[in-house]
Chains A and B, each alone.
Chain A
Amino acid sequence: DIQVTQSPSSLSASVGDTITITCRASQTITNHLNWYQQKPGKAPKLLIFAISFLQSGVPPRFSGSGSGTDFTLTISSLQAEDLGTYYCQQSYSIPYTFGQGTKVQIK
């Protein structure tokens, strides 16, 4: 199975900050990398697919980049409603594995 490792496991930032979450796969996954946001008590929501494509309705302050095995989710101008846990997921090889999550808190 492909292992997916996120860092950091948690972070705290202020409204208006730019934050970055990284995701590393144990082998190349080409462009098969998705990002999800999960707010407390809610189901996950797709933010970004295929590394950098924004899902419909997602604000443009969210962006994704990377290639091969290393990927990044960036949130520019962090908003209070962005608190929650963010997960990356590889969809290159079954089982489609998720990272362990990054909890984002607002200072």
Chain B
Amino acid sequence: VQLVESGGGLVQPGGSLRLSCATSGFTFSSYEMNWVRQAPGKGLEWISYISSSGTTIYYADSVKGRFTISRDNAKNSLFLEMSSLRAEDTAVYYCARDFSRITYWGQGSLVTVSS
């Protein structure tokens, strides 16, 4: 099982960014997926969930209305579209498999929101 995030970087406050997670080693279309983030020196924060089919989606209140999770089961990929970014969104963003217990994590992608 491999989860590889990409798309992180430096963005100005109010800007947008799209994270991708390329997966391999398992049948992607059969698994629930999440994004979890970790601000520098801080703890873990679950931010979004998507069901295996993509029909059920949840967000943490901290990102609701600004972030959009999606998936492409044909391409074994997970996405996080982030807009109206704030300084407090600065974090390492992890792609994570499963929901009731997260069994696999990507290596993370750093997003820095700063002018």
Using a CB–CB distance below 8 Å, which chain A residues touch chain B?
32, 34, 36, 38, 42-46, 49-50, 55, 87, 89, 91, 94-101
Contacts and interface: CB of A to CB of B under 8 A. Distances in A.
Contacts of A45: 105
A34 B44 CA distance: 13
Chain A interface main SS type: loop
B102 interface: yes
Given A43-B94, A95-B60, A101-B43, 5 more contacts: A34-B101, A44-B44, A49-B100, A89-B44, A91-B99
B105 A95 contact: no
Interface in B66-115: 94, 99-103, 105-108
Contacts of A95: 46, 58, 60-61
Contact of B103 (A32, A38, A55, A101): A55
Nearest to B104: A46
B105 A87 contact: no
B44 A87 contact: yes
A96 B99 contact: yes
A70 B104 CA distance: 26
Contact of A46 (B44, B45, B103, B106): B103
For chain B, give the interface size range: 10 to 19
Contacts of B103: 46, 55
B59 to A, nearest CB: 9
Given A32-B100, A34-B101, A46-B103, A100 B43 contact: yes
A91 B102 CA distance: 10
19 contacts: A34-B101, A42-B107, A43-B107, A43-B108, A44-B44, A44-B102, A46-B103, A55-B103, A87-B43, A91-B101, A94-B49, A95-B58, A95-B61, A96-B46, A98-B44, A98-B45, A98-B46, A100-B43, A101-B43
A1 B102 CA distance: 19
A49 B107 contact: no
